[in-house]
Amino acid sequence: MTKIYIPYGSVEGQTSQIAEYMAELLRAHGHQAETADLKHSRGTLPDGYDGVIVAASVHMGKHEGHVTDFVKKNRGELERLPSALVSVSLAAHGDEENAEGYVEKFEEETGWRPAHVGLFAGALLYTHYGFIKRHLMKKIAKDKGSLDTDTTRDYVYTEWDGVQRFTEDYLAWLAKPGSQA
Ligand SMILES: Cc1cc2nc3c(=O)[nH]c(=O)nc-3n(C[C@H](O)[C@H](O)[C@H](O)COP(=O)(O)O)c2cc1C
């Protein structure tokens, strides 16, 4: 049995759901998994974990600053342990190049180059946004030619099968000798 730590950043809650889903899957495979919202944590990677999956979402072209800070602060440990990055964005829904660009920027800023990276589509949660955010996101969707502009409902693009595959591939990698990054 291995112990996996899943620190994450999430503004509207989609990455938080993805982190919890991965933790549930890991537990279903007989492992221990703990999520930590970096907004409320001390920012230090606790001892005793065998692997780490860092998850963050993209807003205005960048991942959460507190996730960037966490990675910078704990880079040595992340490089020592088998660790992975999950990046959640709307670009991951059909605009792979931009989604990869966000990760490249994150890697340049933090100096951490994870061996495993998952690009997952997030959500347009119109009913959860305040007035300004709702209209801003509708305009962005419209400008991109998306038909998903009905602000009385939410659009969730996350492909849970893909999240499951990524988590299981990560586990398989973890089980291999010499899987440290
Ligand atoms: C104000 C705002 C700005 C966003 N900016 C981007 C962006 O620059 N690029 C992108 O691909 N997605 C962008 N998104 C989409 C988010 O990445 C997506 O909604 C994701 O599910 C948010 O995850 P979270 O709920 O964990 O914070 C933006 C969303 C909001 C609300």
Residue nearest to ligand 1 atom 28, measured at CA: 59
Q: What is the pLDDT at residue 90?
A: 96
Q: Kindly tell me if the per-residue pLDDT of 177 is higher than 70.
A: no
55/38 Cα distance (integer angstroms)? 10
Q: Kindly tell me if the per-residue pLDDT of 176 is higher than 90.
A: no
Model confidence pLDDT, tens digit, residues 111-153: 999 999 999 999 999 999 999 999 999 999 999 899 999 999 9
173/116 Cα distance (integer angstroms)? 9
**Ligand 1 within 6 A of 90 CB?**
yes
All structural domains of the chain, each given as residue ranges with its CATH number in brackets, are: 3-122+159-175 (3.40.50.360), 124-156 (no CATH)
Distance 2 CA to ligand 1 centre (A): 32
